[in-house]
Amino acid sequence: MSDQPVAIVTGGASGIGLGIATALMGEDYDVFVLDNDLHHVDDYNASHPLSRARFCDVSDALAVATEIDGVLHVVGRIDLLVNNAGISGPTAPVEAVDPSEWQKTLDVGLTGAFNVTRSVAPIMKAQSSGAIINIASNAGLMGCPNRSPYVAAKWGLIGLTKTWAMELGSFNIRVNALCPASVRGSRIDGVIERDALARGITPEAVREVYQRQSSLRTFTRAEDISAMVCYLAGPGGQRISGQSIGIDGHTETLTNWLGS
């Protein structure tokens, strides 16, 4: 049994998840990453001595169960699960969303979190301790036009956060969701470009509107999210459960488009 606390971070081989994994290692966690990008998994393992990243598609329940069993076999406990893996899905009006894209977005962002949580919950219950953090979005708290599958996945994740907090609370397991706004990085650049294309305007104009949606008129930084993960997992977070916490400079709206 490991004498370090153990964390699982899904989608942790790049992007926000990599930032979370790195911050948790800084807090002395033994971090295991489940990610379905082989290239990023290889890169992660090449730069982390214990090769703790595993290739795993979180939408595949059997693969997830096998990987979680493997982690338990190696370290004997799981203290923290961060359900971070998610895809942005299509940017399109509802009638133009392909059903396969709808399904894929939900399979990764919603079913993926269910798959990992259902494998980890019995382990945390047996320990009578644990914390689960779901990386949702401000799009899980309000409507966001042209993002139907993503919004559905994130609202679903917030509903599961409440439900799992209730189911698992008496086992001393806390469950919370984090709701970032747009985070600087390659993923949001892609969302902005697709939105600009759909609206026939420039990416700069889209970026400007996204920033105006927040009271602080700014994007979230990846480090804002990892700092909150560490806080919730640490001593300050011990009485916090069932919450969906905005890390978004206070999103006022996701719809302040002139003329739309």
Cβ-in-10-Å burial (0-12, 13-18, 19+) of 256 comes to exposed
Is 29 tagged catalytic? no
The site map against ligand NAD for 111-130 (x = CB under 6 A) is -x------------------
Residue position matching structure tokens 């977005």: 105
Amino acid at 239: R
- 187: contact with ligand NAD by CB under 6 A: yes
Kindly name the residue from 44, 150, 210, 231 that is annotated as catalytic: 150
> Nearest approach, Cβ of 57 to ligand NAD (angstroms)?
4
Longest dimension (CA), the chain: 60
> Nearest approach, Cβ of 195 to ligand NAD (angstroms)?
12
- 43: contact with ligand NAD by CB under 6 A: no
Between 15 and 130, CB nearer to ligand NAD: 15
- 21: contact with ligand NAD by CB under 6 A: no
> Nearest approach, Cβ of 157 to ligand NAD (angstroms)?
8
Question: Kind and range of the H or E element at 39?
Answer: helix 38-47
- 17: contact with ligand NAD by CB under 6 A: yes
- Other Cβ atoms within 10 Å of 2 Cβ, number: 13
Q: How far apart are CA 157 and CA 129, in angstroms?
A: 21
* Contacting residue, 5, 8, 9, 14, with ligand NAD by CB under 6 A: 14
What is the distance in angstroms between the CA of the first residue and the CA of the last residue of the chain?
A: 57
* Contacting residue, 8, 10, 141, 251, with ligand NAD by CB under 6 A: 10
- Cβ neighbors of 242 (< 8 A, separation 6 or more) are 161, 162, 165, 166, 169, 175, 176
Angle of CA points 232, 235, 239, to nearest 5°? 65
- 108: contact with ligand NAD by CB under 6 A: yes
- 182: contact with ligand NAD by CB under 6 A: yes
- 59: contact with ligand NAD by CB under 6 A: yes
* Cα Rg, the chain, nearest whole Å: 18
Residue position matching structure tokens 């033994």: 30
C-beta of residue 140 within 8 angstroms of C-beta of residue 179:
yes
* Contacting residue, 6, 7, 9, 13, with ligand NAD by CB under 6 A: 13
Query: Residues in the site for ligand NAD, rule: CB under 6 A?
Result: 10-11, 13-17, 34-37, 40, 57-59, 84-87, 108-109, 112, 135, 137, 180, 182-183, 185, 187-188
**Active site residues per annotation:** 150
